[in-house]
Amino acid sequence: MSKIVFITGATSGFGRAAATKFANEGWALVITGRREERLKTLADELSKLVPVHYQTMDVRDKNQVIAAVDALPEAFKNITCLINNAGLALAPEPSQSVDLDDWHTMIDTNVKGLVSVTHALLPTLIKVGNGTSIINVGSIAGSWPYPGSHVYGATKAFVKQFSYNLRCDLQGTGVRVTDLAPGIAETEFTLVRTKGDQAASDALYQGTRALEAQDIANTMFYVATLPDHININRMEVMPTDQAWSSFAIHRQ
């Protein structure tokens, strides 16, 4: 197997779409996530196309991450591309109304989880060398503030800067690093953020054409298959219907 992609958060959204895209293009898969039933279903589906190894794993638990990487079957060890996709947003209400546990969950997943997986796979990626890629799923929220983004946006700003800093450290190894920062996308993202409020999710996407998971999966594949000497440092992707707005001004 010459091309193997390791995807976190593969049970839904961008991660699931990425697994399908890479499998359709002939890449072997290592797919991970917290929901074993979904992982198994996806593995059963895509193993008809390519070799698939799945592992139930919560990126928040560094011991699970280390164990999952150490337990990779020999045929799946030489990872060509790491997609750090596992992440979430919670608590869209103002900071002063947020449960502290929600802040900690976002930090543990979006920051600590991402660095744990990256740290565990860096030796492998460096060994494989030229043409390997780390694709970190950031967000436009990492650059542009908005009400209710508080810790979520801050974690994605971390993803952006961590990606840049990795680029510096990995210079000369052949390992490429990209911060892929999507805008509004219609996935389970808002359902998770609102803890299952379907009406809120429907309202967010009503009357507009948001990005789809497949759009981001296609972008991931493009980044991962560029010639070895090309690195995209950061790619910000928004739907045509989304742009910036003016500064908010409070008036008495």
Residue 97 has pLDDT above 70, yes or no: yes
Catalytic residue among 54, 152, 164, 205: 152
| Confidence class for position 74, pLDDT limits 50, 70, 90 | very high
Q: What is the mean pLDDT of the chain?
A: 95
Q: What local confidence, expressed as pLDDT, does residue 199 receive? A: 86
Cβ(135)–Cβ(181) under 8 Å?
A: no
Residue 204 has pLDDT above 90, yes or no: no
Q: What local confidence, expressed as pLDDT, does residue 244 receive? A: 93
Tokens of 58: 């919560």
Residue 66 has pLDDT above 80, yes or no: yes
Tell me, yes or no, if 164 is annotated catalytic. no
The pLDDT tens digits for 14-30 are 999 999 999 999 999 99
Q: What local confidence, expressed as pLDDT, does residue 94 receive? A: 95
| Confidence class for position 203, pLDDT limits 50, 70, 90 | confident
The pLDDT tens digits for 165-179 are 999 999 999 999 999
Share of the chain above pLDDT 90, in %: 90
The pLDDT tens digits for 128-154 are 999 999 999 999 999 999 999 999 999
Residue 1 has pLDDT above 70, yes or no: no
Q: What local confidence, expressed as pLDDT, does residue 189 receive? A: 76
Domain boundaries, the chain: 4-237
- What's the mean pLDDT in 75-82? 97
Q: What local confidence, expressed as pLDDT, does residue 110 receive? A: 98
CATH architecture of the domain formed by 4-237: 3-Layer(aba) Sandwich (3.40)
DSSP string covering the chain: ---EEEESSTTSHHHHHHHHHHHHTT-EEEEEES-HHHHHHHHHHHTTTS-EEEEE--TT-HHHHHHHHHT--GGG-S-SEEEE--------S-GGG--HHHHHHHIIIIIIIHHHHHHHHHHHHHHH-TT-EEEEE--GGGTS--TT-HHHHHHHHHHHHHHHHHHHHTTTTT-EEEEEEE-SB-SSHHHHHTTS-HHHHHHHHTTS--B-HHHHHHHHHHHHTS-TT----EEEE--TT----PPP----
Q: What local confidence, expressed as pLDDT, does residue 195 receive? A: 80
Output b/e per residue, 129-152; b: 16+ Cβ within 10 A.
Answer: eebbbbbbbbbbbbeeeeebbbbb
